[in-house]
A and B are shown apart, each in its own frame.
Chain A
């Protein structure tokens, strides 16, 4: 039975070592270098955000941490001990749980069946072990309530929940089954503004419960709302490794959008339609204000712990071509 660690997780291991520490980690796929020189630390009670454009190496990094792939160079330490995972099961056994973008839920099955899928609780009557259904129902309900998710009916198919709620169920499941490190793969990528807010709220709650969270995203606004530590990847290398105090949202955004490239792009566009970086920024700001206004009108939402307004803007709105 895997129903361990339902209570609060110790804030730190006895040794005081970080939960995960990567030093000089790199990964080759044949001759292709996907990742190089990654130094990353995951501490308990902290959210480490890994940002990067498509193809920056985010997924490779997750796959190494979750045990799907092995790193080619460098060291990975868990609780101070050097390890190399052979399978996701190894990682899970050490309390490293990954919630993938596609969520690993079966949409036609009830919420509680999904919650316990693969780790079902059973009664024991000699040779036959039927499911402990009432126990699982009430446990799932309680665990979700602890995360602040109150469902009217734990028996509804999980497909009837919104994308954000499903994501939250997946997080709650990982926490319940003893995760100490929670890796979230683009949890807000496919979600609307309101749903993203819900997921961010539960991400923060998982951190407050003492978990080390690795939050993978390409949205700096979402990252900055919850992150304690930021790592930006570009073409397989780290181009930023900063604590929250050391960087502001504007810099993070510009770094993410590929600062220099954006500059070049603005010059190219300037030839045709006289748009420079300044104009792009202004458009961005005004669009953000507009989004915010419309969001307030159309979506009355529950109050958040953290302001969500910043999250309403898309990362890099397309500069509009002035009509001539």
Chain B
């Protein structure tokens, strides 16, 4: 390493920029700032209008609901930063869950076997999406849209074929259920607060993704392939490997969330999952990811998921018609896109 030993100023203790910038300036340049402000506002709002929202139990429910969106939003956010979409993410969750349940049940195997098979399949779906996108140059929006419909058809068709119904058989008596339930669907209490294990996984995945993105070479490459694929390739970034890897990351998380659903409810409805892909994308966008790629943050996506958790539950706690949640979804997305546009233009125009 050619570390210069000149009169360079001593490196700062932390990784914070050396320049004397105000906290506000640093904050405004973070992708997740808009979402953070919105999250605080929404929290205060429901805290004020909905009395049941103030209880610890309600907070526990909000956290759990957030985590179910948040786990997937991590992978979707990374993929979006890498400049691609995955519309098949919602149904891929169900595909993974159905595979694990039916493979083990129909062949009378330990649930671990089905769970591993489901993992391999989920990674293969990710690989398929990524490989086809890179190989053909067709936008991932279209590639994954086709995957979405194919998986939806397979979910319904194969389930009907094997079980004769629209749902898998209850698997809670099968071998391996206990340990798998502990990993994917258990809960514990801290004081009065009941914490579902998915909340822990959600925070852990968010932390890992953040570290990966900001502190590793792969993270550098993810920003680069999303920001300017041609330039990235020109300086030697393995474009295909990075993008396919990101699709497989979404596949992995789809498997993980699918396993949660399976071991939490012991059975899976084959028609579920449709529409969830948009929730993941919206959480990522609300959290500051640009639709054009190259910009965003997993922490922002986590905050985006939390906003949804709060609102979905908050509307119920406030005693309103739950259908209003859909309206909110759309309004929030529009607002987020506008805020992101403004923030980005502000960040790019400022010359220091």
Contacts from A to B (Cβ < 8 Å): 1, 3, 6, 88-89, 100, 102-109, 113, 116-122, 128-135, 138-139, 142, 152-153, 155-157, 159-161
Are A108 and B227 neighbours in the complex by a CB distance under 8 Å? yes
A-B contact pairs, 28 of them (CB 8 A): A3-B1, A88-B234, A89-B236, A102-B230, A106-B223, A107-B227, A108-B344, A117-B232, A118-B224, A118-B235, A118-B237, A119-B235, A120-B217, A121-B1, A129-B217, A131-B217, A131-B219, A133-B15, A135-B1, A138-B4, A139-B2, A152-B19, A153-B17, A159-B348, A160-B349, A160-B350, A160-B351, A160-B352
A28 to B5, CA, bound (A): 51
Q: How far is the CB of B32 from chain A (nearest CB, A)?
A: 15
Closest to B9 in A: A138
- Measured between beta carbons, the chain A residues less than 8 angstroms from B234 are 88, 100, 104
Closest to B215 in A: A130
A185 to B348, CA, bound (A): 26
Q: How far is the CB of B296 from chain A (nearest CB, A)?
A: 10
Once A104-B235, A155-B17 are accepted as A-B contacts, the answer to whether A120 and B2 lie under 8 Å apart by CB is: no
Task: Confirm or deny: B189 has a beta carbon within 8 angstroms of a beta carbon on chain A.
Answer: no
Are A108 and B295 neighbours in the complex by a CB distance under 8 Å? yes
Closest to B26 in A: A155
Task: Confirm or deny: B288 has a beta carbon within 8 angstroms of a beta carbon on chain A.
Answer: no
Are A157 and B4 neighbours in the complex by a CB distance under 8 Å? no
Q: How far is the CB of A15 from chain B (nearest CB, A)?
A: 27
A160 to B346, CA, bound (A): 10
- Measured between beta carbons, the chain B residues less than 8 angstroms from A156 are 350-352
A107 to B224, CA, bound (A): 9
Taking residues whose C-beta sits less than 8 angstroms from the other chain, chain B's interface range is 35 or more
- How many inter-chain residue pairs (CB < 8 Å) link A and B? 106
Interface positions, chain B 1-33, Cβ under 8 Å from A, are 1-4, 6, 8, 11, 15, 17, 19, 21
Are B236 and A134 neighbours in the complex by a CB distance under 8 Å? no
- Measured between beta carbons, the chain B residues less than 8 angstroms from A88 are 234
A1 to B1, CA, bound (A): 9
Are B215 and A131 neighbours in the complex by a CB distance under 8 Å? yes
Option from B6, B216, B347 in Cβ contact (under 8 Å) with A157? B347
Task: Confirm or deny: B228 has a beta carbon within 8 angstroms of a beta carbon on chain A.
Answer: yes
A3 to B2, CA, bound (A): 7
6 tightest CB-CB pairs across the interface, nearest first?
A: A118-B235, A106-B227, A118-B236, A104-B231, A106-B228, A104-B234
- Measured between beta carbons, the chain A residues less than 8 angstroms from B235 are 104, 117-119
Q: How far is the CB of B269 from chain A (nearest CB, A)?
A: 40
Task: Confirm or deny: B108 has a beta carbon within 8 angstroms of a beta carbon on chain A.
Answer: no
Closest to B350 in A: A160
A155 to B16, CA, bound (A): 10
A138 to B15, CA, bound (A): 12
As a 0/1 sequence over residues 202 to 245 of chain B, the CB contacts with chain A under 8 angstroms (1 = contact) are 00000000010001110110011001101110111100000000
Are A113 and B223 neighbours in the complex by a CB distance under 8 Å? yes
Task: Confirm or deny: B70 has a beta carbon within 8 angstroms of a beta carbon on chain A.
Answer: no
Option from B1, B6, B223, B352 in Cβ contact (under 8 Å) with A152? B352
- Measured between beta carbons, the chain A residues less than 8 angstroms from B236 are 89, 118-119
Closest to B295 in A: A108
A116 to B21, CA, bound (A): 24
Q: How far is the CB of B290 from chain A (nearest CB, A)?
A: 8
- Measured between beta carbons, the chain A residues less than 8 angstroms from B211 are 130
Interface positions, chain B 225-276, Cβ under 8 Å from A, are 227-228, 230-232, 234-237
Once A138-B11, A142-B8, A159-B348 are accepted as A-B contacts, the answer to whether A109 and B223 lie under 8 Å apart by CB is: yes
19 new A-B contacts at CB < 8 Å, known A106-B227, A109-B227: A102-B231, A103-B231, A106-B223, A109-B223, A109-B224, A113-B220, A118-B232, A119-B236, A128-B216, A130-B215, A130-B216, A139-B3, A139-B4, A142-B8, A156-B351, A157-B348, A159-B348, A160-B350, A161-B351
Closest to B230 in A: A102
Option from A3, A117, A142 in Cβ contact (under 8 Å) with B6? A142
- Measured between beta carbons, the chain A residues less than 8 angstroms from B215 are 130-131, 133
- Measured between beta carbons, the chain B residues less than 8 angstroms from A106 are 223-224, 227-228, 231-232, 294
Q: How far is the CB of B92 from chain A (nearest CB, A)?
A: 28
Q: How far is the CB of A145 from chain B (nearest CB, A)?
A: 10
